A and B are shown apart, each in its own frame.
Chain A
Amino acid sequence: MDEMPFTAASFDKFCSEKKLMASRCKKCGAIWLPPRPLCLKCKGGDMEWVELKGKGKIVSFTAIGVGAPTMIEAGYDRQHPYCAGVIELEEGCRMNAQIVGVDVEHPENIKIGTPVTVDFLERGSFSLVPAIANVNKTYAIFRAS
């Protein structure tokens, strides 16, 4: 089977199938999330897709009260902030994502290192370009477990 191209669009398509996919270097085995077409470690260019288990922990985070327009439209504001942060997956790679299932009203209670599991959410896209602003797509988010 031909590999899907190692693009953000492919990643999004996998998300719509509820799969968290990364690229893996066939030469050195390094896993890249976001998926990259070139391996930063060995500079190899022969990659394959690999599905991640979707389990990880919070590396750091914030609770955002003044969000981008897409998040404001989703209902978030100063009274209803949302949590975003850096997640480290069990496979060792990291990604940025919204984090749910945490005490976002009291971020001082959220602990770095909290275990999280991937979930998928449909939401509008982030852009100032009208043609692609708020076009719905599936996002990988993480839920405190």
Chain B
Amino acid sequence: MNKRKLGRGVAVVGAGMSKYGVRTGVSNREMFVEAFKHMMASVDRGVDPKDIEANYVGCCGAWNWESQAGIGKWCTDWAGLVPIPSTTVDNACASASVAIRQGIIGIASGLYDIVLAGGVEKMSTLPTNETTLVLATGADMAWETYAGFTFPGLYATMATAYMNEYGTTSEDLMAVAIKNHDNGVLNPMAQFGQTIRDVMNARIAKAKEKGQPVPSWADEMEFLHDSAFNPVVAWPLKLFDCCPITDGAACVLLVAEEIAKDFTDTPIYIIGTGQASGGALHDRESLTSIPAAQIAARQAYEMAGVSPQDIKIAEVHDCFTIAEVMAISDIGFFKPGKEAATAAAEGKTHRDGVKPINTSGGLKSKGHPVGATGAGMVVEIFEQMKGHAGPRQVPIDANLTLTHNVGAHGTTVVVQIYERR
């Protein structure tokens, strides 16, 4: 494969997000404005909105969840940016990363110097069973969903294969959820303000208050083993293995490398970008990895000229706990199998571990507004690299980082590498 380079360097100089959660009464475009304002405030020396030349907005379900087509245009309008070109991008859960990549390509081509890119998703408007089907439309409706597969079902099938091949346990997966909730509780924009221990203690307090028998869980692990509180969604995945249904928006400001220092002393340069597509489950030789992720990662590493060992922290696509386990081996951080599966349990991916993963709380705890998620990942990377992550700031110098964003169950994957010089 030829080593591809961008025609011109690109940097992130601003990044912001709306509060993630169930945002009743707030629409996609309104959340986008929240993210836009947060982003504008993050640009150290400011940016005049009149200088923004294009907007790329990821979204995958506004047709279903909001009965709105072409949502990107209305986000552009509400952010006060009409008449600049606005493009809505749908690549399922990787929509925002693809939108950002389109922005990068727009700048690298020389067409633009300053581009806004991000994503939105309003998901809480439908009952859970209908949202389950909307999410399943991200998979192959004709040949996967028809078999009865839900979205958790697809990842559960990969989890079954993984556990069968490597002896991975439910406890290994639960450790991922516990870690990401521990991180998310430190993120004021996250959906969940609770660790799993907090959730457990709240249930105990509720039982006491109602005079019901008080459960006697020794720790989070015992709580997560209690099927009354952590029921199976799609075996072997249980409720706490799954990310929530989330409303949210996020966006970043991309600028050409040669003008980046006009906006800040510490631009975050995008030095590697990769994107690949994958087929349906039945067309994959392996169900224990996501081939498109491995290809996208290789492209990004080759463009950046760095190796997995060099990367300090990463935000990866943990829509399910098993997805984080596969992600950290697909991007080359850990060997597939026991090493990847036990990384969270052994503390290696904790904030103070050798490879902090999902310091934001990840999709699991921060939330997963599907069309916005890729941009939300960049927000965390941006804040960690600028030293603005507050109580969740990693103790190491996060000067080289990575995002890994999966569309559907691996039909699109974008991997990008960021450097602070």
Contacts and interface: CB of A to CB of B under 8 A. Distances in A.
Contact of B153 (A62, A70, A112): A62
Contacts, number: 121
Interface string A52-92: 00000001111111111111100000100110111000000
Given A98-B148, A112-B161, A62 B129 contact: no
Given A34-B142, A60-B157, A86-B281, A66 B130 contact: no
Nearest to A40: B283
A68 B233 CA distance: 12
Given A71-B148, A128-B134, A66 B160 contact: no
A107 B159 CA distance: 13
Interface in B105-139: 128-130, 132-134, 136-137
A81 B235 contact: yes
B281 A66 contact: no
B234 interface: yes
Contact of B157 (A61, A69, A93, A139): A61
A29 to B, nearest CB: 18
Contacts of B232: 63, 65, 78, 81
Contacts of B236: 62, 107
Nearest to A106: B235
A97 interface: yes
Contacts of B215: none
Interface in B138-152: 141-150, 152
B277 interface: no
Nearest to B156: A62
Contact of A95 (B129, B233, B234, B282): B282
A68 B129 contact: yes
Nearest to A113: B164
B133 A65 contact: no
B143 A95 contact: yes
Interface in B359-380: none
A94 B153 contact: no
Given A81-B235, A96-B282, A60 B158 contact: yes
Contacts of A107: 235-236
B64 interface: yes
Main secondary structure of the interface of B (DSSP, over half): helix
A126 B130 contact: no
Contacts of B327: none
B46 interface: no
B287 interface: yes
Interface residues of B, number: 40
B231 A68 contact: no
Interface residues of A, number: 36
A72 B129 contact: yes
A96 B144 contact: yes
Contacts of B64: 128
Interface in A95-109: 95-98, 107
A78 B282 CA distance: 26
Contacts of B134: 128
Contacts of A69: 129-130, 132-133
Contact of B234 (A63, A86, A127): A63
A8 interface: yes
Interface string A103-145: 0000100001000000000000111100000000001000000
A60 B146 contact: no
Contact of B133 (A33, A64, A126): A126
A15 B130 CA distance: 27
24 contacts: A8-B143, A33-B282, A34-B143, A34-B282, A61-B157, A62-B157, A62-B235, A64-B152, A64-B235, A65-B235, A66-B152, A68-B150, A82-B148, A86-B282, A93-B282, A94-B282, A94-B283, A95-B143, A96-B146, A96-B149, A98-B147, A126-B146, A128-B134, A139-B146
Interface of B: 64, 128-130, 132-134, 136-137, 141-150, 152-153, 156-161, 164, 231-237, 280-283, 287
Interface of A: 8, 33-34, 59-72, 78, 81-82, 84-86, 93-98, 107, 112, 125-128, 139
- Which 5 pairs across A and B sit closest by C-beta, in order of nearness? A62-B156, A96-B147, A94-B282, A60-B161, A63-B235
Given A60-B160, A66-B128, A127-B141, 14 more contacts: A8-B142, A60-B158, A60-B287, A62-B156, A62-B160, A64-B148, A64-B234, A66-B129, A68-B132, A68-B148, A72-B129, A96-B144, A128-B130, A128-B134
